[in-house]
């Protein structure tokens, strides 16, 4: 009896201890930078032609090794759990299904330093290498016959189709002791790479049985998308490729993308079907019957965020029909339904990115799904759409729903374990009166333990662009929940110039880049103070790129803030003529150093240094060619010369963005330390008058 009692008591104690520790382990805590880098990142979604399977990449990061690796996962769209489809120390990416849905092509560096094309059966088996070139390949797409795959690779035009010669040319260039870079082009570097090595991208095809590679664009020296990859589609009969290519010649006063029809026989014959439009034409997609090409069209040559209109091109008659001229959206990522009667697409709208549909012949746009940020919509079987969805509190995951917009269902849960222990702050979507009494939308992200009866420090996040948005998405570089987590109320104003609020609103800052946005931010500050829970003695303004420009402008025009953070920000707009892209700057600044200098300088933060009194943290990367590193060094030198508090964080190996785990975690440590030094963190008891 005593023995049984002891067993019972022991079991009860174990149960109590187990319950206690289980409850303790479920206690939620704020998000940390380390948590963010431990999250798995879902991307590169591709649905099989039969609509029954989805392949996608999952990238995981090893913080200690300071690098990431991607594998391909498979999702059977019958309700099964997703499973890891490829396993290799090298990253696998860009999965695309064969026309019969039986094979999957992908890109990997498995057998060397350059990325090559591989094929693996969907039912499982060993991956087979298809290409073995001295250069990396990217952006694969199957030909409709399933016998060939198209891809992009950069080559020296003089290689003359001989890959052994190309290999020798690459080795000779690598071994050269001459390090000079020489150019007469206006665009001679982009983002973080120089364009002076003489290599240009081309489209190729490879026979999957013989491995024979064919250059589809012999003799060309053109650019596709400057950020990598290419926007192209193969006609249903396989005889033609529609591809968006820069049509301007050196010295590249500006880039103008046109849609070309390229023969796939290797002759290199191309026809420009959008040469009449001086602005960009992008992302051509064939209709299922091959009779029509759908592409995007901009009208402005000097406004990079000009709205993208949808155009139907009749392949037989050459007739063009603009379907969306009167719709104030900028269209993205369009796909056809199987019968070619409906077009599905994404568009930014009022601080979110929704999924819409449009009749293929034009008509009214229908919003199918609104909420968060959605991407990569694709057609699946059983009247479903598959897409990627994210929000302020949801990292990207794959979702599905019926095409009418109901029966929403999440399909992947890779980050559930981490997310279940994270306590996120609430998010509020508000509208306030900004410059000229216009309505301005703003997100407010609260700290996890927010209590309106206390006084909290305020941190403004100011987005870049300037023609971009703070959308409802899980940002892996400037994460709003991470900004709020230590105890800050975060204000994210979509000020004048932001996209998703119509063309007129986006264009409204041209010629006066800091006027209305500055007034919007100041009015947002008043709006937040009037709510009663903000300590107006503990406020900071932070921004990156254009947001950094606004931080420097704020430094010269108000002392309301106790701290400033300037990441990769423009300080002296004269220096932006050393940027990688300069063609639109005279228009944006309403002047240039050679014409309209006085008016341009009216909006130059560097001319107001005598007013700098607020401490500024300055962060910049050496490889930043969008906002050259001298911008950060100059504002730091001015602050130090003036005797105003400043701190410089310089990354010799990062570009406009901070992209490696340890550098990012260090970035947040610096941010937190700077904010805490000048505005503290967390609440103070609310004092009543």
**Tokens found for residue 106:** 């992908």
C-alpha 38/C-alpha 427 separation (Å) is: 23
Which tokens go with 169?
């040319």
Strand partners, 443: 429, 492
Would you say residue 13 lies in a domain?
no
What are residue 590's phi and psi, to 5 degrees?
Answer: 60, 35
pLDDT of residue 79: 86
Which pLDDT score, from 0 to 100, does residue 111 have?
85
pLDDT tens track for 82-110:
999 999 999 999 999 999 999 999 999 99
Domain assignment present for residue 384? The answer is no
Alpha helices in 605-660 (DSSP H): 630-642
Inter-CA distances, 571 with 512, 628, 632, Å: 15, 10, 7
Mean pLDDT of 136-151: 98
Polymer length in residues for the chain: 689
**What CATH number is attached to the domain comprising 612?**
3.40.50.1820
Note whether residue 492 is domain-resident.
yes
Q: Starting at the edge strand that comes first in sequence, how are the strands of the sheet with 103-108 ordered?
A: 92-97, 103-108, 116-121, 128-129
Helix, strand or coil, per DSSP, at residue 645: coil
Q: On the CB side of 257, how many CA atoms lie within 13 Å of its CA? A: 22
pLDDT in tens, 470-491: 999 999 999 999 999 999 999 9
pLDDT band at 115 (very low <50, low <70, confident <90, very high): very high
Tell whether the model's pLDDT for residue 10 goes beyond 90: no
Residue 1 scores a pLDDT above 80: no
Indicate the pLDDT class of residue 221, thresholds 50, 70 and 90. Answer: very high
- Which pLDDT score, from 0 to 100, does residue 431 have? 98
* Mean per-residue pLDDT, 128-153: 97
Is 632 among the domain residues?
yes
For residue 579, the enclosing domain spans 429-685
What does the pLDDT read at residue 24? 45
Q: What is the pLDDT of residue 687?
A: 52
Six-digit token string for 463: 């987005």
* Rg of the chain taking only CA atoms, in angstroms: 27
Question: Is 327 among the domain residues?
Answer: no
With 80 as the cut, is the pLDDT of residue 363 above it?
yes
Beta strands in 48-190 (DSSP E): 53-62, 67-76, 83-84, 92-97, 103-108, 116-121, 128-129, 137-142, 148-155, 189-190
pLDDT range class, residue 15, cuts 50, 70, 90: very low
Q: Is residue 638 part of a domain?
A: yes
Predicted local confidence at residue 218, as pLDDT: 97
Backbone φ and ψ of 203, nearest 5°: -90, 140
Is residue 259's pLDDT more than 60?
Answer: yes
Q: Who wins on pLDDT, 343 or 6?
A: 343
pLDDT (0 to 100) of residue 607: 97
What SS3 class is residue 554? helix
* pLDDT over threshold 50, residue 539: yes
Q: Is the pLDDT of residue 7 over 80?
A: no
Of 460, 589, 602, nearest in space to 523 by CA: 460
> How does residue 18 score in pLDDT terms, banded at 50, 70 and 90?
very low
3-state secondary structure at position 240: strand
pLDDT > 70? residue 278: yes
Mean pLDDT of 159-173: 96
Judged by DSSP in three states, 625 sits in: coil
DSSP letters, 8-71, are HHHHHHHHHHHHHHHHHHT--B---HHHHHHS-EEEEEEE-TTSSEEEEEEEEEETTTTEEEEE
Which of the four pLDDT bands, split at 50, 70 and 90, describes residue 201? very high
Domain-embedded: residue 192 = no
Question: What are the tens digits of pLDDT across the range 230-254?
Answer: 999 999 999 999 999 999 999 999 9
625 occurs within a structural domain:
yes
Residue of 221, 223, 217, 238 lying closest to 193 (CA atoms): 223
pLDDT for the residue numbered 17: 35
Please choose, from the candidates 263, 172, 192, the residue with its C-alpha nearest in 3D space to the C-alpha of residue 626: 192
pLDDT for 227: 84
Q: Are strands 534-544 and 563-567 parallel, antiparallel or unpaired?
A: parallel
Instruction: Tell me how many domains the chain contains.
Output: 1
pTM of structure: 0.93
> Minimum mean pLDDT among 12-21, 41-50, 183-192, 472-481: which range?
12-21
Arithmetic mean of pLDDT, 356-380: 96
> pLDDT for 574-624, tens place per residue?
999 999 999 989 988 989 999 999 999 999 999 999 999 999 999 999 999
Instruction: Please provide the average confidence, as pLDDT, over all residues in the chain.
Output: 94
Average pLDDT over residues 382-393: 97
- Phi first, then psi, for residue 362 (nearest 5°) are 95, 170
**CA–CA dist 44, 25 (Å, integer):** 34
Which residue is associated with the tokens 């082009």?
A: 185
């Amino acid at each position: 009896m005593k023995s049984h009692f002891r067993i019972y008591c022991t079991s009860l104690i174990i149960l109590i201890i187990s319950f206690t520790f289980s409850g303790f382990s479920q206690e939620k805590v704020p998000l940390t930078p380390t948590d963010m880098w431990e999250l798995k990142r879902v991307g590169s979604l591709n649905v099989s032609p039969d609509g029954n399977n989805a392949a996608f990449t999952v990238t995981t990061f090893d913080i200690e090794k300071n690098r990431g690796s991607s594998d391909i996962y498979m999702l059977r769209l019958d309700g099964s759990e997703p499973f890891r489809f490829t396993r290799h120390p090298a990253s696998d990416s860009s999965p695309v299904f064969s026309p019969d849905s039986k094979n999957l092509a992908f890109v990997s560096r498995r057998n060397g330093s350059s990325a090559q094309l591989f094929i693996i059966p969907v039912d499982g088996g060993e991956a087979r290498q298809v290409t073995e070139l001295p250069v990396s390949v990217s952006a694969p797409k199957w030909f409709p016959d399933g016998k060939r795959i198209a891809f992009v690779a950069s080559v020296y035009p003089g290689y003359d189709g001989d890959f052994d010669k190309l290999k020798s040319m690459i080795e000779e260039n690598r071994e050269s002791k001459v390090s000079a870079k020489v150019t007469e082009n206006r665009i001679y570097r982009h983002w973080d790479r120089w364009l002076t090595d003489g290599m240009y991208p081309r489209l190729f095809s490879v026979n999957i049985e013989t491995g024979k590679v064919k250059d589809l664009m012999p003799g060309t020296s053109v650019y596709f998308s400057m950020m990598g990859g290419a926007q192209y589609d193969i006609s249903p009969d396989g005889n033609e490729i529609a591809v968006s290519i820069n049509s301007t010649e050196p010295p590249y006063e500006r880039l103008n993308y046109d849609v070309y029809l390229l023969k796939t026989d290797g002759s290199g014959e191309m026809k420009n079907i959008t040469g009449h439009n001086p602005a960009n034409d992008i992302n051509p997609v064939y209709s299922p019957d091959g009779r029509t090409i759908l592409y995007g069209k901009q009208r402005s040559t000097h406004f990079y965020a000009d709205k993208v209109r949808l155009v139907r091109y009749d392949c037989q008659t050459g007739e063009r029909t603009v379907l969306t001229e009167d719709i104030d959206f900028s269209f993205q990522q369009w796909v056809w339904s199987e019968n070619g009667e409906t077009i599905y697409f994404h568009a930014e709208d009022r601080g979110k990115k929704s999924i819409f549909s449009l009749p293929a012949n034009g008509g009214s746009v229908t919003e199918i799904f609104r909420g968060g940020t959605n991407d990569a919509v694709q057609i699946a079987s059983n009247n479903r759409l598959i897409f990627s969805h994210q929000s302020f509190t949801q990292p990207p995951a794959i979702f599905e729903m019926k095409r009418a917009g109901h029966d929403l269902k999440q399909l992947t849960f890779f980050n559930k374990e981490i997310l279940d222990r994270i306590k996120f702050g609430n998010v509020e979507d508000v509208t306030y009166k900004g410059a000229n009494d216009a309505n301005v939308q703003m997100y407010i992200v609260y700290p996890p333990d927010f209590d309106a009866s206390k006084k909290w420090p305020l941190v403004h996040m100011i987005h870049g662009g300037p023609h971009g948005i703070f959308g409802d998405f899980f940002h892996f570089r400037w994460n709003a929940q991470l900004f709020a987590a230590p105890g800050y109320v975060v204000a994210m104003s979509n000020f004048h110039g932001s996209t998703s609020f119509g063309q007129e609103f986006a264009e409204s800052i041209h010629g006066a880049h800091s006027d209305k946005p500055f007034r919007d931010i100041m009015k947002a500050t008043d709006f937040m103070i009037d709510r009663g829970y903000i300590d107006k003695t503990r406020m900071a303004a932070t921004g990156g790129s254009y947001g950094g420009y606004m931080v420097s402008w704020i430094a010269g025009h108000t002392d309301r803030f106790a701290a400033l953070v300037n990441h990769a920000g423009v300080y002296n707009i004269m220096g932006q003529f050393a940027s990688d892209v300069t063609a639109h700057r005279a228009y944006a600044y309403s002047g240039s150093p050679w014409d309209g200098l006085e008016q341009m300088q009216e909006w130059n933060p560097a001319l107001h240094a005598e007013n700098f009194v607020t401490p500024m943290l300055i962060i910049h990367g050496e490889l930043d060619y969008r906002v050259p590193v001298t911008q950060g060094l100059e504002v730091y030198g001015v602050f130090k010369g003036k005797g105003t508090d400043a701190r410089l964080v310089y990354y010799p190996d990062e570009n406009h963005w901070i992209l490696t785990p340890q550098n990012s975690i260090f970035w947040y440590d610096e941010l937190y330390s700077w904010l805490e030094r000048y505005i503290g963190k967390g609440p103070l008891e609310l004092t009543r008058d």
